[in-house]
Amino acid sequence: MRPAAARRRGEAARLPREAERRPTPVEPRSATWPDLDPAYAIQHDNGARPLAAGSTVTGHKVGLTSAPMRELLSVSDPAFGHLLDDMVQRDGGDGARRPFA
């Protein structure tokens, strides 16, 4: 990957991580970089960070399983992701969440 493309991919990956730390919306990456198309690569990059920091995969999630929804969004395949241990609400937990801004 060329250095300029790697910088753009890194910047695009940084935005959703920042949004997690401060619950405020960020511009869609497609608005900032309309020709950027490594969405799965960016998702992989961001998913690798907590794993490298010690998080563990506790499950998997799948979305867009409905053909009409995929058609509506012009997506050909379901979307897959990992559930990490820090995403799980354990039995007896207080369910406290950060307030949205």
Which residues, at least 6 apart from 84, have a Cβ–Cβ distance to it below 8 Å? 50, 51, 55, 56, 57, 58
Q: What is the pLDDT of residue 26?
A: 73
Q: What is the pLDDT of residue 91?
A: 79
How far are the Cα atoms of 17, 26, 59, 81 from residue 51, in angstroms, in the given order? 14, 24, 13, 13
- Model confidence over 38-85: pLDDT tens digits? 666 777 778 888 899 999 999 999 999 999 999 998 888 898 888 888
Q: What is the pLDDT of residue 94?
A: 73
pTM: 0.58
Q: What is the pLDDT of residue 58?
A: 92
How far are the Cα atoms of 16, 32, 44 from residue 89, in angstroms, in the given order? 22, 34, 23
Rg (Cα) of the chain, in Å, rounded? Answer: 16
How far are the Cα atoms of 24, 55, 69, 74, 84 from residue 16, in angstroms, in the given order? 10, 18, 23, 22, 16
In whole numbers, what is the pLDDT of the chain averaged over residues?
80
